[in-house]
Chain A
Amino acid sequence: MRLKPNDKMTGQEQPVLPEVLLGHFFRLIQAIKIHHPNNSIVTQSLKEFVETLHLFKSDESWLTIRIMDGRLFFQEEKLTCRSESAKLIANFITYFEIKKLNGLSLSTALQSSQGDEFLMFATLLNGSENQEDPELWLEQQIQKMDFDWVKILRDVPVKQEVAEAATSAPGRSPAACPDRRDGVRVETSKNVYAGTLTALKEIATKVTSNKPGGARKALRMVQSMVDLIMEDDFVLLGLSTIRDFDDYTYVHSVNVGILAMALGSRIGLSRDALEIIGVCGLFHDLGKTEIPLDIVNKPGKLTQDEFQEVQKHVLHGVRLILKLRAPRDLRSKVIIAPYEHHLKYDLSGYPQTSRKKTLSLHGRIISIADVYDALTSPRIYRDSEISPHHALEIMAKGAGKDFDPILLKVFIKMMGIYPLGTLLKLDSGEVGLVTESCNEIDPLRPRVVLLDPVGRNQFRRGKTVSLSEKNGISNTYTRTIFGSYHPCLFGIQPAQYLL
């Protein structure tokens, strides 16, 4: 079978390239157990294996196969056990587990002329189970033979338990802690955030290299976020204050997903609808991966042509979402909001097409979340950073024209006049970071954590105070807001102080 790495893989009928490679590899090591190296079965298996290995050459220099906790990982990603490949994967896992081997790395530069070396290695691999320490023994043999195209993998260098505990599905756990800043909850949320970001980056990498990206990981992460948000959106809203100048699009997309889900939750959307809206947020800017980076990262104003190019990301995005490996109904449902996210409430904006319909609920929500996060993110083309508070002011002026006025109202109420993570300069000369924005009695006086300067642009977390506190004697407010700033002006990631 001849496959290229970019081959379109649809459905169950076609094997994916890693499976093909592993299949050839497994056949080869089995064949060499019973046949002479010159036997045609061996030579044919070797030829197919090397040919398949070379298909990876343009993308990867080394291929890693690791067995961990009964699962097979290929290039650090779990290889999904499809019905067609289940037996092969199970055999592979058993083969490595019997030999107590963690895995190996193979160079894609292995030449056909090195076939004899590979057969030698396969024989060693087969024989390693008789050794006391197969890993060590194999390593020594490889060194002795001077095989520079293979490496034996040692133990996994991660704190697996911590990571696993932190990424479990929290909404299902019976012992959910009511404390908003509960450590486990915060850790879980952080790791779900990281997992979502990674899943999104993986998808983006795949779609940009024209490979089919699957939505399963992203879906799992979004479902975890829905559970967290439905329980209490505080931690994830705190995490949505994270800004990343270098990886703007991905962090922005995760934040938009969180903000959109939180808004959806406030207006009482079902968990299924929140799931859809979360996926919409995550994928709404996927089309940007197809816009030249020099335009995306251009400092200053875009030319007319460049702006037209940027506008194309909407339709590109819809196409890329449609190309994801995901159930049909999910794919279909999540194209509407990404298509509409640059259309304004009055239908101005882009793309301007023959379709003249009022925006969908999901489109309206994503549009609000998108603009808020974009305004409050440091961008290379902007001279000054806009504080979250100021961003809401700007957005409020577009109510009824740019944004659905009702949803915007709910959004501002959710975020608070001074949203979580806004940096406030106080008349006392202190600097405070908003930790709880929704003061029901006086929304203009949130709770803040005071930041004590400990050096140039370095702060220590101080005490948390409410700005509605009054001086007992004079009955005047102890602290009043003097100005609001974007925290990144002080090099602050608010989430670091909030959670």
Chain B
Amino acid sequence: MMLRQHLRHVPPNEGGKVDETELQALKGVLAALLAAVRNFSLYPSEHSICQRCTRHLKNSLSEFFKYEKKLKIEINKDGLSYREMKLYEPSEKNDSLLSPLFRDGILWIEIFPDIELSELEIFLKLFGEHRSLIDEAGSDLVTALWKANLTNIRYEAINSFWENPPVFDFGDFSLGNEPWARIENDQNKEALPNGPSEQSFPNIKKSEGLTHFFELTTTENQLLSKLISKNNQEDTEDIIDILVIVLDDQNAERDFSYLLELLEQELKLALENTHFNLVHTMLEKMKPMASGSSEPLSWRKKLIDDFFLKLSSDETLKSLETGLLKLKTADSNQISSAKNFMLMLEPKAVETLAQFLLKGPSRTVQILLMNAMKTLALRNLAPLERLLGHPNVLLVKYLIAILGQIKGRHPRDLLLRLMDHSSEDVRQKALLCLIKRGELPMDKIEAFLNDPDPQVRSQVFDYMRRGKNPMYERILRSYIEKKKFGRHDRAFLITCYQALGKCASNESLPFLEKQLFKGIGFPLFGLWPSRHRLGSAVALAEAGSQDAKQILSRASRCFYPSIRRAYKKALEVTAISK
């Protein structure tokens, strides 16, 4: 449909040039080209639609090349022509096919039968990229095609920049005011720089001959090749070096600010390419620019400070992320440079760095990030604190690990706050941290013991039974006394007793003795829950003191089978736990 609108119908064999079948093939090429140009302006080149368009164009061209050895399309302001036949006339001024070609002064384009799919793709991609231009910027369709240097697409372009294109005229060049007058007046003109000059080039040996002298030796050729191959390598370091030198030379605020913008771009690129050391060195060089600024250049300090603030922006850190993904984990220098760079960030960067942790980086990068985050959090805990409310449990667990390494009351309070977290994993991790820090607060222990997560409770017990502790002893005793344990809580109750036994002194022995022998002589002796009897026996066994052993000895000889059973079972439990 579109094609019909644009193609002026030409009767077959008009002018004896294009027959009907060839014309049909040509129409096919044009339709495919139009569709491809349109789609390349809408989608990225790797998009399936673009890929399909490229293949379709290639097929259409193959069809056309059955009739011709090349396709030459001429361009003028009204449209495209083929062999002086109007092929395409756009209906609007800003046509996506004609406009870029005409705008950039392309006179004709030739496509040859050997054209590869990849060449067509590059051509269409460039077309899409240069559909519109940034005023005066360095690249247009012609310069881009030149760079692409496509083998099977040729073109000719005029420079359409000037209303009056510059014309060369020798008269435009002056040699000054009759400079030759000097030689006319020179009495010694015969003695001016003189003749045959082997002597003038001191290194030339007569025997060698001039021709050979100017041939490069094998060594020279090797050195030159090395120099050329070095030249082809990346030059980010040189660029940044020079940028910093030029930056330091600036006395105008506007220029300084502009160069900082460029440095920021280079810095991002360097980060993406894992040049962490380079970035770090550059930033180190920039620091004194701010501190050494005298009064007239005091704006420098602010601009440099702002620059350093910008390092922590999401945009810069995105480049860091790209770089970190490429980081060679075996390269300790690279790792240390990356760390040094991260330590120059603002604490707010923790919020972005934390996100990287969720993207499954290598273990090395994970540690690197966490160390950096810890150092940044030491300067200001607020950004990390804000993240603790993040819905991602894994992230919060990472943060807990960091918090655990930061000493002080505020991190401890944050960890405690996390004990109210809805996730068992988080509570458990926080508790572990608190335990590791030795900062489990007494007044919270009972609450921890009631945590719905058995793991959490078990951790608390583990912590409490580390050794004799009258505080824990009292807490546990009171907890066992007050809490109503149901039948299903048997295991938990035993654990409570076990912990009590570990941390108990002789102060608890009466309580345990009472629990063990409870109900003797009462008619309802059998109703006393066996779990308490067993628990107290376990506690006595864990306590291990002489007095405790005596009580247990009594239990082993007791008339009542349930007490003897408790004794036996306690020994088993203790043996297992040991």
A, B co-complexed = yes
Would B210 and A191 count as touching, CB distance under 8 A? no
Which residue of the partner chain A has the closest CB to B70?
A: A174
Is A27's beta carbon under 8 Å from chain B?
no
Would B159 and A409 count as touching, CB distance under 8 A? no
Docked CA distance A91–B77 (Å): 15
Would A245 and B156 count as touching, CB distance under 8 A? no
Is A397's beta carbon under 8 Å from chain B?
yes
Is A86's beta carbon under 8 Å from chain B?
yes
Would A335 and B258 count as touching, CB distance under 8 A? no
Most-contacted residue by chain A among B223, B227, B235, B250 (CB, 10 A)? B227
Chain A window 329-358, contacts with chain B (Cβ cutoff 8 Å), 1 for yes, 0 for no? 011110110010000000000010111010
- Chain A residues with CB under 8 Å of B249's CB are 315, 319
Is A361's beta carbon under 8 Å from chain B?
yes
Chain A window 314-329, contacts with chain B (Cβ cutoff 8 Å), 1 for yes, 0 for no? 0100110011111110
- Chain B residues with CB under 8 Å of A172's CB are 154-157
Of the four ranges (under 10, 10 to 19, 20 to 34, 35 or more), the interface on chain B belongs to 35 or more
Would A326 and B246 count as touching, CB distance under 8 A? no
Stretch in A111-119, A124-132, A301-309, A479-487 touching the partner: A479-487
Is B392's beta carbon under 8 Å from chain A?
no
Is A220's beta carbon under 8 Å from chain B?
yes
Would B165 and A158 count as touching, CB distance under 8 A? yes
Docked CA distance A301–B220 (Å): 38
Stretch in B141-149, B313-321, B333-341 touching the partner: B141-149
- Given A336-B235, A443-B211; A378-B154 close (CB under 8 Å): no
Would B176 and A390 count as touching, CB distance under 8 A? no
Which residue of the partner chain B has the closest CB to A445?
A: B196
Docked CA distance A171–B182 (Å): 43
B258 to chain A, nearest CB (A): 7
Would B136 and A409 count as touching, CB distance under 8 A? no
Chain B window 234-254, contacts with chain A (Cβ cutoff 8 Å), 1 for yes, 0 for no? 010011011101100110001
Would B231 and A355 count as touching, CB distance under 8 A? no
- Given A94-B93, A245-B176, A361-B230; A216-B193 close (CB under 8 Å): no
Which residue of the partner chain A has the closest CB to B215?
A: A413
Residues of B153-202 whose CB lies within 8 A of A: 154-170, 172-176, 178-180, 182-183, 190, 192-198, 200-202
Would B135 and A490 count as touching, CB distance under 8 A? no
Stretch in B126-134, B404-412, B476-484, B529-537 touching the partner: B126-134
Is B293's beta carbon under 8 Å from chain A?
no
- Given A167-B165, A214-B135; A489-B142 close (CB under 8 Å): no
Would A82 and B174 count as touching, CB distance under 8 A? no
Which residue of the partner chain B has the closest CB to A18?
A: B135
Contact partner, A68, options B94, B158, B163, B243, Cβ 8 Å = B163
- Given A81-B99, A82-B133, A360-B231; A168-B160 close (CB under 8 Å): no
Residues of A25-48 whose CB lies within 8 A of B: none
- Given A68-B163, A167-B159; A481-B138 close (CB under 8 Å): no
- Given A245-B175, A251-B173, A315-B249; A83-B182 close (CB under 8 Å): no
Stretch in B8-16, B259-267, B424-432, B442-450 touching the partner: B259-267
Chain B window 69-110, contacts with chain A (Cβ cutoff 8 Å), 1 for yes, 0 for no? 000000001000000000000000110000100110001001
- Chain B residues with CB under 8 Å of A275's CB are 147
B61 to chain A, nearest CB (A): 19
Would B210 and A357 count as touching, CB distance under 8 A? no
Is A148's beta carbon under 8 Å from chain B?
no
- Chain B residues with CB under 8 Å of A480's CB are 195-196
Docked CA distance A242–B317 (Å): 52
Would A483 and B193 count as touching, CB distance under 8 A? yes
Would A214 and B202 count as touching, CB distance under 8 A? no
Is A105's beta carbon under 8 Å from chain B?
no
Would B135 and A9 count as touching, CB distance under 8 A? yes
Would B239 and A332 count as touching, CB distance under 8 A? yes
Would B134 and A82 count as touching, CB distance under 8 A? yes
B218 to chain A, nearest CB (A): 12
Is A197's beta carbon under 8 Å from chain B?
yes
Would B230 and A69 count as touching, CB distance under 8 A? no
- Given A223-B143, A409-B220, A441-B211; A90-B93 close (CB under 8 Å): yes
- Given A81-B99, A194-B167, A360-B231; A444-B138 close (CB under 8 Å): no
Would B193 and A332 count as touching, CB distance under 8 A? no
Would B230 and A213 count as touching, CB distance under 8 A? no
Contact partner, A164, options B102, B158, B262, Cβ 8 Å = B158
Is B139's beta carbon under 8 Å from chain A?
yes
Docked CA distance A333–B193 (Å): 40
Contact partner, B216, options A269, A330, A410, A481, Cβ 8 Å = A410
- Given A81-B133, A336-B235; A219-B138 close (CB under 8 Å): yes
Would B77 and A69 count as touching, CB distance under 8 A? yes
Contact partner, B138, options A187, A330, A393, A495, Cβ 8 Å = A330
Is B228's beta carbon under 8 Å from chain A?
yes
Chain A window 167-186, contacts with chain B (Cβ cutoff 8 Å), 1 for yes, 0 for no? 11100111000000000000
- Chain A residues with CB under 8 Å of B231's CB are 269, 273, 360-362
Would B161 and A78 count as touching, CB distance under 8 A? yes
Is A24's beta carbon under 8 Å from chain B?
no
Is B224's beta carbon under 8 Å from chain A?
yes
Docked CA distance A386–B140 (Å): 42
- Chain B residues with CB under 8 Å of A485's CB are 183, 192-193
Q: List 9 A-B contacts (CB under 8 A).
A: A8-B254, A76-B163, A78-B163, A90-B94, A163-B167, A267-B224, A318-B246, A325-B135, A441-B211
A191-B168, A442-B211, A490-B183 known; 19 new pairs, CB 8 Å cut-off, are A70-B77, A82-B133, A82-B134, A158-B164, A159-B167, A164-B158, A172-B157, A195-B166, A216-B138, A223-B146, A267-B224, A319-B246, A325-B134, A331-B138, A354-B285, A387-B193, A389-B193, A482-B195, A491-B175
